[in-house]
């Protein structure tokens, strides 16, 4: 795509150092998964709390404010959907990144529940793709600051800027096709 068709990046965006860190709660009973998510989030400059169980997740959600919760669906002492229900009851206003190896029906049920109570939920499969997680967190951080999301990864995030660029490409392709059409 020709560079001239892209909108310029605004010059008034804050530097990375000025961006507010997300307050993240990692809910997963697998120590390796918790560690991977925690390290990736901390490397991106976010504050992280962990909960290896439904009970701990609910306790932390009742006592602290989080911008985002990464949530496994299957936990030793219960179900991640129980955590979603507690979040709904507490009027949670952040985002959820569900990270689960469960089948599509179970993930779909969790998405439906979240949507029905107004919780923004993204879903990432296990094994976890750390690049997709980093992009999701970067987009959430920008959204929390009122900045546009500009990264996408396999449908993880979509935004007005990407849609505008797609529309511009479609428009240019249509103009080109019309110009080349025989009269």
Identify the pLDDT of residue 44: 87
Q: Is 129 within the bounds of a domain?
A: yes
Buried b (16+ CB within 10 A) or exposed e, 114-124: beeeebebbbb
Burial of 175 (0-12, 13-18, 19+ CB in 10 A): exposed
Q: How far apart are CA 37 and CA 85, in angstroms?
A: 23
Contacts of the segment 105-109: beta carbons below 8 A, 24+ positions apart? 106/73, 107/73, 109/81
Buried b (16+ CB within 10 A) or exposed e, 150-173: beebeebbeeeeeeeeeeeeeeee
Q: How far apart are CA 22 and CA 45, in angstroms?
A: 8
pTM for this predicted structure: 0.68
Q: Is 150 within the bounds of a domain?
A: yes
Q: Is 4 within the bounds of a domain?
A: no
Overall number of domains in the chain: 1
Q: Is 144 within the bounds of a domain?
A: yes
The CATH number linked to 89 is 3.40.50.2300
Q: Is 130 within the bounds of a domain?
A: yes
Angle CA 146–41–141, to nearest 5? 0
Average pLDDT, whole number, for the chain? Answer: 78
Q: Each residue of 77-133: pLDDT tens digit?
A: 998 899 999 999 988 989 999 998 877 788 888 888 888 888 888 888 888 999 889
Q: Is 170 within the bounds of a domain?
A: no
Pairing of strands 47-51, 23-27: parallel
Q: Is 174 within the bounds of a domain?
A: no
In which band, very low, low, confident or very high, does the pLDDT at 178 lie, cut at 50, 70 and 90? low
The upper half-sphere exposure of residue 28, i.e. CA atoms within 13 Å in the direction of its Cβ, equals 25
Q: Is 178 within the bounds of a domain?
A: no
In which domain, by residue range, is 149 found?
22-162
Identify the pLDDT of residue 147: 43
């Amino acid at each position: 795509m020709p560079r001239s068709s892209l909108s310029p990046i605004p010059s008034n965006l804050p530097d990375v150092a000025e961006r507010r860190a997300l307050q993240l709660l990692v809910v997963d009973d697998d120590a390796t998964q918790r560690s991977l998510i925690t390290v990736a989030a901390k490397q991106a400059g976010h504050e992280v709390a962990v909960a290896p169980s439904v009970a701990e997740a609910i306790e932390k959600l009742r006592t602290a404010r989080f911008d985002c919760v990464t949530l496994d669906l299957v936990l030793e002492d219960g179900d991640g959907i129980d955590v979603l229900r507690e979040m709904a009851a507490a009027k949670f206003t952040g985002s959820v990144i569900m990270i689960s190896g469960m089948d599509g029906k179970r993930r779909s049920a969790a998405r439906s529940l979240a949507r029905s109570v107004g919780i923004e939920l993204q879903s990432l499969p296990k094994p976890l793709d750390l690049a997709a997680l980093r992009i999701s967190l970067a987009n959430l951080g920008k959204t929390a600051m009122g900045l546009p999301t500009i990264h996408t990864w396999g449908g993880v995030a979509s935004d007005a800027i990407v849609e505008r660029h797609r529309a511009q490409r479609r428009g240019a392709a249509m103009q080109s096709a019309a110009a080349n059409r025989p009269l």
